[in-house]
Amino acid sequence: MLNVDIASLGPCLFDSPLHQIGTVEVPFKTDADRILYTNSLQELKEEGATAGEPLSFEEAGPREHVFFESARTTVGIVTCGGLCPGLNDIIRGIVNQCHRQYGITKVYGFRYGYEGLVQRYGHTPIMLRPESVSQIHNFGGTILGSSRGQQPIGDMVDTLEDMSVDILFVIGGDGTLRGASEIAKEVAKRGLRKAIVGIPKTIDNDIMYLDKSFGFETAFAEAVNAVKCAYTEACGAVNGVGLLKLMGRDSGFIACFAALAGSNVDFVLIPEVKFALHGTSGLLETLRYRLAKRGQAVIVVAEGAGQELMQSDGGTDASGNKRYGDIGLYLKDEINAFFKERRMEVNLKFIDPSYIVRSVPANPQDNVYCSRLAQAAVHAAMAGKTSMLVGRWHGAFVHLPLDMVTHGRRKVDPNSELWHAVLESTGQPAKLT
């Protein structure tokens, strides 16, 4: 059974400042408001037959009473890991919510990721106000900068103590959230009254127990434009092949959605489904048949696909992730060599738009999603919730324990309707072996 309990700093003794906002009645939530884990009636019946109350998540939203007194509260924000559309939107949403709804006037932005929380690096925090963040959502990246890699937990908590930071909002992916969990544990070990709240960020959409992560909508929309370019290149030459590498270390969601939306893709290769290059049913022979039949082909490959085909140096990156081989360049060389050996003309164009996709501003749909996430995060932190993150599950915003979501990754299920839809759209064989 999953542990879905949310840690709390203590009883909420202050009336929420939201009582004073206009004349609109605030939709306050209580900890008893829950969102079911499953939305399947059959699964709910099966779960009920083996357990008592069905598994559910605490619903996000404003609480009628809060833990922190607004006038005496200091907030910190840090962005970590790779760039992602929507980071500035989240920062802007937190700052506006703190200032305008809760009356918190001291909001610091820690620069260059977790490095900004270690004083010896000399990254001076900046004060964030509504007027200084009013237009940042129109730009990609993060105004705070970012970095990868672990930092000493004790040093980071020392900085929070020295600056009297009561609430720290951590915006990042899997590794960043693991770091946030360790910060929360050190805070608890020292008996400090500080809330650590995460906002999940990953273009790959691979964080567990979330409908989607912010930036994903923008990322796959940009990826669709790259699919169109790959198709144009493929159509512009005899036996043209457009080979497009997209993000997705362990999960192929961007590749799947881009292929479905782009509609002109012949092969989708993702980490969850292994494929062979050679053999009568391998990728290369299947590609040759496709070229003979149609005269062009588009291949979309996620960056983590086919790693078993390449030799790895076994190293890791700054975030502790296994360093992957470049599947795009590998396929480019293998495809060219295959057709050269058979004296068959092929015109292959390789496209890698990864950094373009990562650095664009969020689209309107992600903009709204980021604003809602930021609001939910501030509501949770002010209520004394800690060692948790906010996310959306079955269309509702919920609170999730940090330790729960960092043990595993969300992946494309090869037996799911999504992957079946991709196979139907591309016409590729279910197995390239």
The per-residue pLDDT for 313 is 66
Same domain, yes or no, for 259 and 183?
A: no
Residue 151 in domain = yes
User: Exposed/middle/buried for 265, CB within 10 Å: 0-12, 13-18, 19+?
Assistant: buried
Residue 374 in domain = yes
Q: What is the mean pLDDT of residues 342-367?
A: 94
Same domain, yes or no, for 109 and 222?
A: no
Tell me the two tokens of residue 41. Answer: 């009636």
The per-residue pLDDT for 42 is 78
pLDDT, one tens digit per residue, over 91-115 is: 999 999 999 999 999 999 999 999 9
Residue 433 in domain = no
Give me the residues paired with residue 8 across strands. Answer: 385
φ, ψ (nearest 5 deg) of residue 175 = -65, -40
Torsion of CA 354, 356, 358, 360, to 10 degrees: -160
Same domain, yes or no, for 422 and 345?
A: yes
Which DSSP letter does residue 99 get? I
Average of per-residue pLDDT values in the chain: 93
Tell me the two tokens of residue 165. Answer: 């930071």
Q: What is the chain's length?
A: 433
Same domain, yes or no, for 26 and 173?
A: yes
Same domain, yes or no, for 343 and 418?
A: yes
Same domain, yes or no, for 233 and 355?
A: yes
Same domain, yes or no, for 169 and 261?
A: no
pLDDT, one tens digit per residue, over 408-425 is: 788 999 999 999 999 999
Range of the domain at 350: 217-359+414-426
Taking the C-alpha atoms of residue 150 and residue 354, their distance in angstroms, rounded to an integer, is: 24
Q: Provide the greatest CA pair distance for the chain.
A: 78
Kindly report the CATH number assigned to the domain that includes residue 310.
Answer: 3.40.50.460
Give me the residues paired with residue 57 across strands. Answer: 35
pLDDT, one tens digit per residue, over 228-245 is: 999 999 999 999 999 999
Residue 71 pLDDT grade (very low, low, confident, very high; cuts 50, 70, 90): very high
Task: Concatenate the DSSP letters of all residues of 347-390 into one string.
Answer: EEEEE--HHHHHHSPPPHHHHHHHHHHHHHHHHHHHTTEESEEE
Helices (H), 39-100: 41-50, 87-96
- The number of C-alpha atoms within 13 Å of 202 and in the hemisphere containing its C-beta is 27
Q: How many domains does the chain have?
A: 2
Residue 130 in domain = yes
In this structure, how many other beta carbons lie within 10 angstroms of the beta carbon of residue 207? Answer: 24
Residue 1 in domain = no
Residue 2 in domain = no
Same domain, yes or no, for 354 and 369?
A: no
φ, ψ (nearest 5 deg) of residue 426 = -85, -30
Same domain, yes or no, for 121 and 247?
A: no
Residue 317 pLDDT grade (very low, low, confident, very high; cuts 50, 70, 90): low
Catalytic entry in 204, 206, 250, 366: 204
Q: Are 356 and 222 in contact (CB under 8 A)?
A: yes
Q: What is the mean pLDDT of residues 277-283?
A: 94
Known catalytic residue: 204?
A: yes
Same domain, yes or no, for 120 and 191?
A: yes
3-state helix, strand, coil in the chain (%, to 5): 40, 20, 45
Nearby residues of 40 by Cβ (< 8 Å), 6 or more positions away: none
Taking the C-alpha atoms of residue 282 and residue 285, their distance in angstroms, rounded to an integer, is: 6
Residue 17 in domain = yes
With residue 108 as reference, give the H or E element that holds it: strand 106-110
Residue 103 in domain = yes
Kindly report the CATH number assigned to the domain that includes residue 173.
Answer: 3.40.50.450
Same domain, yes or no, for 203 and 232?
A: no
Same domain, yes or no, for 255 and 323?
A: yes
Residue 64 amino acid letter: E
Is the pLDDT score of 203 beyond 90?
A: no
